[in-house]
């Protein structure tokens, strides 16, 4: 993806997923009943699967993982896509009365999360929805605040890129 300043390497990503995301989730949901981890395509899906594995190692319970595609729900759909790539939204067991942890790689404006909430609410009515992100970046345009944050970019004004082994061949967070 090009050069930049690496702010998290593979070991640090693994650590923040375990300590800053999974541990607080387990504190909030000690029984894991009705918990569903829902990743937003693309990198959010892989992060949700990683969170699932960490929780399973710690508790011997495997939470459900679902994935959602928000492309048709984006408010900039017309500007971004001539023909969007639409992937399947799949949440085993649905969302009705479930406790959802929505997972994404980066939160910036909040518009992706708003679109993801629209997808979830079109499927059903969850008991609650919380948000987990690997990176929180300043610049919200929507009143959306993550509940679980791996790394807070603070006042960084440059672009933040999350690269994951499953997609990019390397685990790192880079500022360019």
Q: Does residue 1 surpass a pLDDT of 90?
A: no
Of 126, 127, 132, give the one whose Cα is nearest residue 113. Answer: 132
Please tell me what DSSP assigns to residue 168: H
Residues 6+ apart with CB under 8 A from 48: 37, 38, 39, 65, 66, 67, 103
Q: Whole-model pTM?
A: 0.94
Cα–Cα distance for residue pair 112/122, rounded to 1 Å: 15
Please tell me what DSSP assigns to residue 170: S
Question: What kind and span of H or E run contains 53?
Answer: helix 43-59
Confidence of residue 111 (pLDDT cuts 50, 70, 90): very high
- Structural domains of the chain in order of their starting residue, each with its CATH number: 5-175 (3.40.50.2020)
Q: What is the pLDDT of residue 127?
A: 98
């Amino acid at each position: 993806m090009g050069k930049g300043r690496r702010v998290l390497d593979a070991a640090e990503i693994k650590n923040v997923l375990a300590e800053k995301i999974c541990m607080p989730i387990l504190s909030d949901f000690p029984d894991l009943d009705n918990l569903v981890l829902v990743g937003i395509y693309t990198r959010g899906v892989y992060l949700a699967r990683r969170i699932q594995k960490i929780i399973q190692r710690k508790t011997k319970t495997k939470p459900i993982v679902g994935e959602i595609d928000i492309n048709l729900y984006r408010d900039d759909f017309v500007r971004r896509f001539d023909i969007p790539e639409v992937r399947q939204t799949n949440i085993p067991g649905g969302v009705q009365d479930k406790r959802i942890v929505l997972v994404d790689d980066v939160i910036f404006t909040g518009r992706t999360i708003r679109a993801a909430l629209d997808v979830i609410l079109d499927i059903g009515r969850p008991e609650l929805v919380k948000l987990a992100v690997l990176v929180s970046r300043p610049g919200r345009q929507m009143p959306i605040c993550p509940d679980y944050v791996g790394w807070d970019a603070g006042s960084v004004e440059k672009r933040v890129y999350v690269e994951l082994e499953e997609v990019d061949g390397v685990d790192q967070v880079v500022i360019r």
